[in-house]
Structure 1
Amino acid sequence: MTMLAEHTERPTVIDPQDEPRALRPRWVRPALGLLLAVTALLYLWGLDAAGWANEYYAAAVQAGTQSWKALLFGSIDAGNAITVDKPPAALWVMALSGRIFGFSTLSMLVPQALMGVASVALVYSAVRRVSGYGAGLLAGAVLALTPVAALMFRFNNPDALLVLLMVVAAYCVVRALDGKSTRWIALAGVAIGFAFLTKLLQALLVTPAFALVVLVAIPGSVWRRLRDLAIGLIAMVVSAGWYLALVSLWPSESRPYIGGSTNNSLLQLALGYNGLGRVFGGDGNPGGSSGSGGGPGPMGGSMFGGSTGITRMFGESMGTEISWLLPAALIALVAGLWFTRRAPRTDRTRAALLLWGGWLVVTVVVFSFMKGIMHPYYTIALAPAIGAVIGIGVRELWRGRDFAAPRIVLATMLVVTGVWNFILLDRTPEWMPWLRWTVLVGAILVSAVLVAGAHRLGRWTVAVAAAGLLFGLGATAAYTVETVAGSHGGGIPTSGPARAGGGFGFGGPGGPGGQEVLPSDNSELKDLLLQADNRWAAATVGSHVAGSLELATGTSIMSIGGFSGGDNSPTLEQFQNYVASGQVHYFIVGGGPGGNHRGGPGGESGTGTQITQWVQQHFTAQDIGGTEVYDLSAPK
């Protein structure tokens, strides 16, 4: 039975993997090649324009090319004082690329872009196994043309690898529908385990949908399905647990401090600041609120996700990142599940809708109501699910166009997309003002044709289908191209044309440091650091100055307190011992989060403040090109 089981007796699409090559349409291979080539062009074009992208992760990648221990643990410095506040799987890929090809912007970012191409290819492959070639191509195109996907597959945050691994897991679950499910479910568990080592608990948001498909749609007895689910769970735990055990068993004095944790524990980081703290707030998580704003500072409302609630994915902060086709995907999901309500338990179309639709709904709900840090670019995790649901839904509804209900649903999806895209484009009214009217009017006209005569178009069928795709994808495609053409950097990048309040650097709104002259721009300071041969050429509070100086000089800079200066590492006693043993040469006072005299979060009692005060009491300040520097080898 198909998605339109109550309307038609057409058989389910033949699995393309089982179809003889001679029977495959001749256009399939060129069309797939074109899709992947265009995706590669979008994601690789002008890739070095972003510079070091997120300097926090770039510094850790550089450290990984200089020290194997830094690579293993994800240290932000080659001296291994402290790690970044995420597990290191994404850093492994970029740092290994840097070791092979030499550390540079391209060696760091090209693997990220290729992950995007691979994600598009796998979404195509997964969807085509259920609904055929056309559906797979449409699903892949939607993913490739999602603005936030083009943004993050050209960036060095962990999200690119996270999405790729989740798509790999989804592909494995789809393959399990064909039989030999144990092997494929185990592989899905392995992929999710390594996704956990990329971005912790966010990787688990897709697991409820995967588990539901295994229990509901996998062929075999209930005991076999329960066994497969248990094997997948074990594979996931082992694939993530080996690294948790490694970090826990490694002597803490001979490895870097786990950044973002409160007790030097990766498990605590997973459950605290970067885990449940993101969902429920607390554990150092400022974020969205139920009011009109949210988050810290003047840009907290937009850069930290805006107000919590069911409309959050459509708001000013995230709407233009991900929601272009989200309303249409939700309509397609509801219609698809309704039309397949009488299908057999193992119906492949319904199973695919449960998989991708469950991924979509669970992630939307969590992202919409989580009270901790929620940056707009996190929404890349929705892009594969939206693409797959759109691909499956449009293809199956189009197959049922001889009947009124599928035509009405398909037309509704298109006209809602046109209206919503008009609203999104109106948020940047001076950018391509004609586009929003073209998309709106075109979508309405094509929708009318679909309702009135989609079943009797004759030779005009292809033209109407092409017009529907053009007006349905035109706005998101234009926004994606603008994202690729522009320059997007800083710690919190955003896609599309420049808007007020776009992307943060370490120094806050408008990029790193605003109008401040950063220590990394200080040629005298850089020359001074290049002459140091200590374990750490210098130390400074927070990662803002530390990361930028590391990238500018290639030296190791201790980031006291981690990203924001709030972590309890090193303690004052530890820092005093480092100074006494000659392991750190200079102390630099700089700007950015945590990089001031108060030592960042923690106020007067924070480790950054304690260390800063101790240095100022026992060493003499020097003005090096406008930067306050203390020579720790020459006490007062």
Structure 2
Amino acid sequence: MTAATVGHAENIEVPGPERKTRRRHRYALAAILVAGGALYASVLFTGNWGNTYYTAAIKSMSSSFTNFLFGSFDPAGVVTVDKPPLALWPQVVSVWIFGYHNWSVLLPQVIEGIAAIFLLHRTVRMWAGENAALIAALVLAVTPITVVTNRTNNTDTMLVLTLVAAAYAFTRAMKTVEPRSRTKWLWFAAFLIGCGFLAKMLAAWIVVPAFVAAYLAGSKANWRRKLFDVAGAAVVLLASSLWWVAVVDLWPGEKPYIGGSSDGTALDLVLGYNGLGRVFGGGGPGGGVRTMGTPPPGGGDGGDGGMVAGGPGGAAAFGGESGPGRMFGEAVGGQISWLLPLALIALVVAAVLGFRRFRRFAPADTAGRAGWVLWGGWLVVNALVFSLQEGIFHPYYTTVMAPAIGALIGAGAVWAVRMYREPKRIGWLVLPASIAVTAAWAWVLTSRDTAWHGWLRWAVLGVAVAAILVLVLRKAQRVAIVLGLVAVLLAPGVWSGVGAFASAGNAGIPMAGPAASQGGDGFVLRLPPGVTTPPANMVPPQGPMGGRPNGTLNADQRKILDYAKAHSAGAEITMAVEGGAQAASPYIIATGETVVGIGGFSGRDPAPTMDQLSTWVREGKLRFILSGGRGGPGGGPRMMGESAERTEWIQQHCESVLTAGNQQLYECTA
């Protein structure tokens, strides 16, 4: 049956009971979308500005076309953010429409999160039916790490949306009989994965093996057609992924330095810091881990020995130790793994049943098989990469696993209920056993910190026991199934609800649960042995995250900015700030002044260069440089490479004119 036939069939008059069922399904989906939207949109009323690194970039990107195209962090177009700009473009458009406000910056994230829930429902409905789709949508809506991530302006929300959209297009391809139409949908799926690449680079390509395997397993076409379709999809994927990289690296005129790269090219960012560096470590300069110990551009031996600035919970913000148990560990378990055992059970059962069907030479449900391979491969490949990667990893990366978990649980739950209603078959035990396993794992997770909503483990246990008891006694089956669903989703639902309405936490490294309840940004510095004072340019003015989350300057910051403005003599750049993007962010967010963050995100990108600083000062475009710490610019343990050269240049050409708090303002002359 073609898509057109299906659409025509939906217009045919249906019996009254079926109409009521469809109406209930629509109401249920609407309720899930409203619930998810409420969880995500709660941040719009808090005054929080999200991840200030990206928030500042959004303001800068809204000021000119080149800043918009490249994703410039600062208004002067000196250095970009360390990601492609696609995920930030909707936020810039929102700012163009509504003005620059915290809610206009975060509104696109809310919309993208709701859209992902809706598209997941539509995708799973095509594959496994309405009930499975509703369960999948509900699971995605209440996954704790997804809730807290969608309340920030990090790039993962757009990544999830594009990949779920790709899964929808792929499922349409598998449901389409006409070969050309199937090929078009498959290639459209590849295009959408390429859009995900422009949100978070190679993180989007992790699911590609799952898509390829699912197509080969589910397509009824001959092998020549399969190879043609896959080869064409590969071309589309490369073109849609790399066009921005090509534009940036072949740009003929002046352009910002590509933040996080070692040579200023987007290709290096793809292969280095945002690529293999994430998997094998040594991600290069800049980037989210805020490390001292990676050689800066131009060399260096990493002698500062691994200083790390962490987020909520310190090392927990970096996912703990890599290894097979990372997804279930202290740092990540409460973020994504609540339903991971249940999803794996569903996947194993599906594999066993598929193998038995194969041995009986039974007719294959190729579209159904493709769905299991797609979602199972999506989950397993991402879990393996995240568990074993040695480079930068934060727990919120795992939000990309939530759609797959939801889809597998939705399809698995429908099968388990069907087996339960056939008591003569041993498969009826799968449903109560699944509830027991999930409740037991929820007990383990909530018991790790009983000071934080410790009552939850007893609540889950009580509901799970009641559900299993009713299921075993085979009384009030609908009530038992509802109780089972509550037992499975109660703990992650509470974590999501508390995460949505608790304090803002650290928008740069969002985490749900006890870590998010620390308040503030939860930022800590772990110094290597023998180091007692962090380098000044690694502790930006007014705290490690570079200012307050409410979009205003404090008294010291306002004093510095007012002095620089009053004595700038018409300079194009009001002030350059050591300490990287985080130190400059509050000035960009709170004012309309042209402020430059020296060195990109972490302060170690070679932008602006020494020649550029000298030219600015000589031509009267820059007079003031702000540095943290009273020991002089770049104080603290020894700096190397570009940072050391900048420190030496400031000492030779600039004089301290104002001290406010732990910050010093320097006036520079040619």
Shorter-chain TM-score above 0.5: yes
Separation in 2, partners of 1:445, 1:208: 41
Which residue of the other structure, out of 122, 139, 144, is the alignment partner of 1:142?
Answer: 139
Uncovered stretches (5+) of structure 1, i.e. residues with no partner: 1-13, 289-293
CA contact (8 A) 1:599 1:609 kept: no
Q: What does residue 155 of structure 2 align with?
A: 158
The residue type equivalent to 1:619 in the other structure is: C
Aligned residue for 2:623, secondary structure, equals strand
Q: What does residue 3 of structure 1 align with?
A: none
CA contact (8 A) 1:597 1:609 kept: no
Aligned residue for 1:296, secondary structure, equals strand
Output aligned runs, 1:177-326, within 5 Å: 177-179=174-176, 180-251=181-252, 254-284=254-284, 296=308, 301-326=315-340
CA contact (8 A) 1:600 1:606 kept: no
Taking a change above 3 Å as real, the CA distance of residues 230 and 337 of structure 1, as seen in their structure-2 partners, is same
Question: Offset at 1:544?
Answer: 1.7
Q: What does residue 6 of structure 1 align with?
A: none
Question: Offset at 1:29?
Answer: 1.3
Separation in 1, partners of 2:365, 2:635: 59
Separation in 1, partners of 2:309, 2:51: 20
The range that moved more, 299-308 or 355-364, is: 299-308
Separation in 1, partners of 2:486, 2:262: 51
Q: What does residue 76 of structure 2 align with?
A: 79
Taking a change above 3 Å as real, the CA distance of residues 360 and 492 of structure 1, as seen in their structure-2 partners, is same
Separation in 2, partners of 1:18, 1:427: 52
Taking a change above 3 Å as real, the CA distance of residues 149 and 276 of structure 1, as seen in their structure-2 partners, is same
CA offset digits 1:482-519 (Å, max 9, x no partner):
00011223422211245687885777589971699889
Separation in 1, partners of 2:122, 2:76: 44
CA contact (8 A) 1:494 1:502 kept: no
Q: What does residue 39 of structure 1 align with?
A: 36
CA contact (8 A) 2:314 2:523 kept: no
Q: What does residue 9 of structure 1 align with?
A: none
Q: What does residue 569 of structure 1 align with?
A: 607
CA contact (8 A) 2:547 2:583 kept: no
Taking a change above 3 Å as real, the CA distance of residues 544 and 516 of structure 1, as seen in their structure-2 partners, is closer
Aligned residue for 1:66, secondary structure, equals coil
Separation in 2, partners of 1:323, 1:390: 13
Which residue of the other structure, out of 467, 476, 484, is the alignment partner of 1:446?
Answer: 467
Q: What does residue 11 of structure 1 align with?
A: none
Question: Offset at 1:520?
Answer: 4.1
Separation in 1, partners of 2:363, 2:105: 47
Question: Offset at 1:535?
Answer: 3.5
Which residue of the other structure, out of 378, 398, 415, is the alignment partner of 1:396?
Answer: 415
Sequence identity percentage: 39
Separation in 1, partners of 2:66, 2:13: 49
CA contact (8 A) 2:220 2:366 kept: no
Separation in 1, partners of 2:84, 2:432: 45
CA offset digits 1:63-106 (Å, max 9, x no partner):
01222211111111010000011111111111111111111111
Relative contact order (C-alpha < 8 Å, sep 6+): which is higher?
Answer: 2
Q: What does residue 547 of structure 1 align with?
A: 585
> TM-score, structure 2 length as denominator?
0.85
Question: Offset at 1:445?
Answer: 3.8
CA contact (8 A) 2:113 2:157 kept: yes
Separation in 2, partners of 1:90, 1:600: 36
Question: Offset at 1:148?
Answer: 0.6
Separation in 2, partners of 1:586, 1:408: 72
1:354 aligns with 2:391: no
CA contact (8 A) 1:540 1:560 kept: yes
Which residue of the other structure, out of 48, 53, 56, is the alignment partner of 1:59?
Answer: 56
Taking a change above 3 Å as real, the CA distance of residues 245 and 506 of structure 1, as seen in their structure-2 partners, is farther
Separation in 1, partners of 2:62, 2:453: 43
Q: What does residue 537 of structure 1 align with?
A: 574
Uncovered stretches (5+) of structure 2, i.e. residues with no partner: 292-305, 527-538
The residue type equivalent to 2:446 in the other structure is: L
Separation in 2, partners of 1:133, 1:462: 17
Taking a change above 3 Å as real, the CA distance of residues 51 and 501 of structure 1, as seen in their structure-2 partners, is closer
Question: Offset at 1:591?
Answer: 6.4
CA contact (8 A) 1:70 1:78 kept: yes
Separation in 1, partners of 2:650, 2:406: 55
Taking a change above 3 Å as real, the CA distance of residues 18 and 258 of structure 1, as seen in their structure-2 partners, is farther
Task: Quote the RMSD (CA, aligned, Å).
Answer: 2.9
Q: What does residue 10 of structure 1 align with?
A: none
Question: Offset at 1:21?
Answer: 6.5
Separation in 2, partners of 1:18, 1:600: 72
> TM-score, structure 1 length as denominator?
0.89
Separation in 2, partners of 1:267, 1:93: 24
CA contact (8 A) 1:295 1:301 kept: no
Q: What does residue 530 of structure 2 align with?
A: none
CA offset digits 1:506-551 (Å, max 9, x no partner):
7758997169988942221232355555442211221121112111
Taking a change above 3 Å as real, the CA distance of residues 301 and 127 of structure 1, as seen in their structure-2 partners, is same
1:494 aligns with 2:494: no
Q: What does residue 102 of structure 1 align with?
A: 99
Separation in 2, partners of 1:280, 1:384: 26
1:484 aligns with 2:497: no
The residue type equivalent to 2:614 in the other structure is: Q
Separation in 1, partners of 2:226, 2:335: 37
Taking a change above 3 Å as real, the CA distance of residues 18 and 534 of structure 1, as seen in their structure-2 partners, is farther
Separation in 2, partners of 1:597, 1:36: 51
The residue type equivalent to 2:386 in the other structure is: F
Separation in 2, partners of 1:66, 1:505: 32
Q: What does residue 334 of structure 1 align with?
A: 348
Aligned residue for 1:417, secondary structure, equals helix
Which residue of the other structure, out of 604, 616, 628, is the alignment partner of 2:651?
Answer: 616
Aligned residue for 2:271, secondary structure, equals helix
Q: What does residue 29 of structure 1 align with?
A: 26
CA offset digits 1:138-168 (Å, max 9, x no partner):
0000000001111111101101101100101
Taking a change above 3 Å as real, the CA distance of residues 596 and 552 of structure 1, as seen in their structure-2 partners, is farther
Aligned residue for 2:88, secondary structure, equals helix
CA offset digits 1:38-64 (Å, max 9, x no partner):
111111124242621211111101101
Question: Offset at 1:554?
Answer: 2.6
The residue type equivalent to 2:505 in the other structure is: H
Taking a change above 3 Å as real, the CA distance of residues 339 and 596 of structure 1, as seen in their structure-2 partners, is farther
Q: What does residue 467 of structure 1 align with?
A: 483
CA contact (8 A) 1:277 1:372 kept: yes
Separation in 1, partners of 2:594, 2:155: 22
Q: What does residue 430 of structure 2 align with?
A: 409
Separation in 2, partners of 1:61, 1:153: 17
Separation in 2, partners of 1:495, 1:448: 32
Taking a change above 3 Å as real, the CA distance of residues 515 and 571 of structure 1, as seen in their structure-2 partners, is closer
The range that moved more, 483-492 or 342-351, is: 342-351
Aligned residue for 2:46, secondary structure, equals helix
Taking a change above 3 Å as real, the CA distance of residues 621 and 530 of structure 1, as seen in their structure-2 partners, is closer
Q: What does residue 70 of structure 1 align with?
A: 67
Which residue of the other structure, out of 391, 395, 400, is the alignment partner of 1:376?
Answer: 395
1:525 aligns with 2:560: yes
Q: What does residue 628 of structure 1 align with?
A: 664
Q: What does residue 172 of structure 1 align with?
A: 169
The residue type equivalent to 1:420 in the other structure is: W
Separation in 2, partners of 1:356, 1:150: 21
